[in-house]
Amino acid sequence: MKTWLRELPKVELHLHIEGSLEPELMFSLAARNGVDLPYASVDEVRAAYDFSDLQSFLALYYQGMRVLRTEQDFHDLAMAYLGRAHEDGVVHVELSFDPQAHLSRGVELAVPFEGLRRAMRQAEREWGMTTALIMSFLRDREALEAMDVLERAAPWYEVIDAVGLDSAEVGNPPAKFAAVFERARELGIARVAHAGEEGPAAYISEALDVLDIRRIDHGVACLQDPQLVARLRETQIPLTVCPLSNMRLKVVDRMADHPLPAIIDQGVKVTLNSDDPAYFGGGVLDNYLACLDAFGWDREMFKRLAGNAIDVAFMPESRRSELLERLSRC
């Protein structure tokens, strides 16, 4: 079954590229760029990965990304993850990045854009892997700053497949960014948003109503509101669920307690993703395997979940048809 799941054509929709920074690469980039780290070894970094909640994770997450300074750094970061994903049978990856976290350190927009884009093109040449790029806004910062970033990103509008909303959810409701997402809609850019991870189900409804999003990142709190569940079932707006992330951030205590089976039983469209694989226990394949161990799903269920991700990915229709055909042959 593990071999079959590895060979299944999988699509990654919810991936923060800064969260794919493995400790080994973190130390390598720190040495290259002369950045001092508050850790003496790779093992010490890994020992710090015992998070109590989302905020404790974010503190380490932002600490680690300080090593990302140059276009080559972002290229190397993306290639390292895309290579691991390819080995795990991932055929399409949607990379989200946080420009505000880099701008605040003096790293200009062109640096992550050009570095990531170069890696995305290389992955397609080397492995036939397709990719999409999501520019996310930090919800714990001011909406005016997000609007400024969106306007400054004009030279790259043609390569931005969607804008997103991430970081600390509690106390930062989606409506805070209504004007930013309306501007993205005017520009013809698709919209996704984190909602219902640590925040309530009401944040999911608000993201749908106010931000006009196409996908909900996480969304596991939806079961709090039966009317919302019915809406998700009827509209088939997908949830990009990250099971290992939810466990590591104490959204659930153990995989057996995860609401995924109940959400799926309600007819909601669900996909499996890794979120921040360096910090949360692995990539997409690891999340599939964790669900296999916890829920004992059969091959048809995993094909259904993989098909859901292909259905809603940002990709040309010709590529979508190709991947669905590959999936049908598994």
Active-site positions? Answer: 197
Number of other residues whose CB lies within 10 A of the CB of residue 235 = 11
Do 201 and 209 meet the contact criterion of CB atoms below 8 Å apart? no
User: Which amino acid is located at 167 in the chain?
Assistant: S
Cα dihedral 30, 275, 3, 316, rounded to 10, equals: -110
Do 193 and 178 meet the contact criterion of CB atoms below 8 Å apart? no
Do 134 and 166 meet the contact criterion of CB atoms below 8 Å apart? no
Nearest Cα to Cα of residue 143 among 113, 173, 187, 170: 173
Integer CA distances (angstroms), 109 to 17, 87, 93, 97, 315, in order: 15, 30, 21, 11, 24
Cα distance between residue 49 and residue 308, in whole Å: 31
Do 258 and 243 meet the contact criterion of CB atoms below 8 Å apart? yes
**Across-strand partners of 16?**
96
Do 268 and 8 meet the contact criterion of CB atoms below 8 Å apart? no
For residue 76, the SS3 value is helix
